């Protein structure tokens, strides 16, 4: 195996993370404020995405309900990509497009947040979830890449778009993961102040 190919994954990932830090710090800060404000008002966060982004949605919900780095009370977040009975029933009886939107209709309340994750910005089921969330007066935090795709065009001024400046799905997902950890950390700092070692 050519180790150069392996090294290039690490180098490209690191370079794109550095570029993204500058481009995304501001919208990530806005997203933290929006999440903290919603959670403080008794609202919750729903998260969805396909494939690797489904794993990201679960990962985020686990860190809010369980914990990130600090011991704290559980925070309300639900992954819409996780319940195989709901996902298979809705896909089988309705359509794959509706697997997330039905759950937004079931759980979503005005003031809740939808964390919509799509590297292309073009997944139809994530777009349908955003439509359902906007109908419910929820706010959207979209994690995308590749220019934001159709999702970028659906968002309103009240929403936050965190669009990774890259075109390769794997690299975009890698920045989504560090973004999710920055969101979790920002929520903890908003709750408790200071840094994790205090
Ligand atoms: O993890 C990967 C590729 O790295 C895949 O599972 C990937 O998430 C899937 O192809 C998704 O269906 C892509 O959807 P999206 O990010 O464009 O919304
Ligand atoms: Zn992947």
Per DSSP, the residues of 37-81 read HHHHTT--EEEE-STHHHHHHHHHHHHHHS-SSS------EEETT
Q: Which pLDDT score, from 0 to 100, does residue 122 have?
A: 98
Element (DSSP H or E) covering residue 26: helix 3-40
Residue ID of nearest Cα to ligand 1 atom 1 = 52
Q: How far is the CA of 172 from the centre of ligand 1 (A)?
A: 10
Instruction: Check the annotation: does 173 bind a ligand.
Output: yes
pLDDT at residue 98 tops 80: yes
Interface pTM, i.e. ipTM: 0.99
Number of the ligand closest to the Cα of 54: 1
Question: What per-residue confidence (pLDDT) applies to 2?
Answer: 87
Query: Average of pLDDT values for 175-188?
Result: 98
Instruction: Give the nearest ligand 1 atom to 53 CA.
Output: 8
Per-residue pLDDT band for 196 (boundaries 50, 70, 90) equals low
Question: Do 113 and 47 touch, CB atoms closer than 8 A?
Answer: no
Residues 12-56 have pLDDT tens digits of: 999 999 999 999 999 999 999 999 999 999 999 999 999 999 999
The predicted pLDDT at position 123 comes to: 98
Would you list the domain boundaries of the chain? 34-192
Q: What is the mean pLDDT of the chain?
A: 97
Answer yes or no: are the C-beta atoms of 149 and 185 closer than 8 Å: no
H or E element in which residue 114 lies = strand 113-117
Which ligand minimizes its atom distance to the CA of 53? 1
Task: Give the mutation target among 115, 119, 125 for probing the ligand 1 site: most ligand atoms within 8 A of CB.
Answer: 119
pLDDT score of 155 more than 70: yes
CB-ligand 1 contact for 170 (6 Å cutoff): yes
Q: How far is the CA of 17 from the centre of ligand 2 (A)?
A: 16
One of 3.90.226.10, 3.40.718.10, 3.40.50.10490, 1.10.3720.10 is the CATH number of 34-192, namely: 3.40.50.10490
Whether the predicted model's global pTM rises above the 0.95 cut: yes
C-alpha span between 42 and 39 (Å, rounded) = 5
Which atom, in ligand 1's list, is nearest to the CA of 118? Answer: 18
Question: By alpha-carbon position, which residue is closest to atom 18 of ligand 1?
Answer: 118
The per-residue pLDDT for 5 is 96
The response to whether 92 counts as a known ligand-binding position is yes
Distance, in Å, from the CA atom of 110 to the CA atom of 103, rounded to the nearest integer, reads: 14
pLDDT on residue 194: 76
Residue 118 Cβ < 6 Å to ligand 1: yes
* Burial status of residue 128 (CB atoms within 10 A of its CB: 0-12, 13-18, 19 or more): buried
């Amino acid at each position: 195996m050519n180790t150069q190919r392996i090294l290039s994954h690490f180098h490209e990932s690191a370079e794109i993370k550095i570029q993204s830090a500058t481009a995304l710090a501001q919208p990530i800060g806005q997203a933290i404020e929006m999440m903290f404000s919603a959670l403080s008002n008794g609202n919750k966060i729903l998260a969805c995405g396909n494939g690797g982004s489904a794993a990201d949605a679960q990962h985020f919900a686990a860190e809010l309900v369980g914990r990130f780095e600090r011991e704290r009370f559980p925070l309300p977040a639900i992954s819409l990509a996780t319940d195989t009975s709901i996902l298979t029933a809705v896909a089988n009886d309705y359509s794959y497009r509706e697997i997330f939107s039905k759950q937004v209709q079931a759980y979503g309340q005005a003031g809740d947040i939808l964390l919509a994750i799509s590297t292309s910005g073009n997944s139809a089921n994530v777009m349908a979830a955003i439509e359902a969330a906007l109908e419910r007066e929820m706010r959207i935090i979209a994690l995308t890449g590749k220019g934001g795709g159709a999702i970028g065009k659906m968002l309103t001024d009240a929403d936050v778009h965190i669009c990774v400046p890259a075109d390769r799905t794997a690299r975009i997902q890698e920045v989504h993961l560090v973004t999710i950890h920055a969101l979790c950390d920002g929520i903890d700092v908003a709750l408790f102040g200071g840094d994790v070692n205090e």
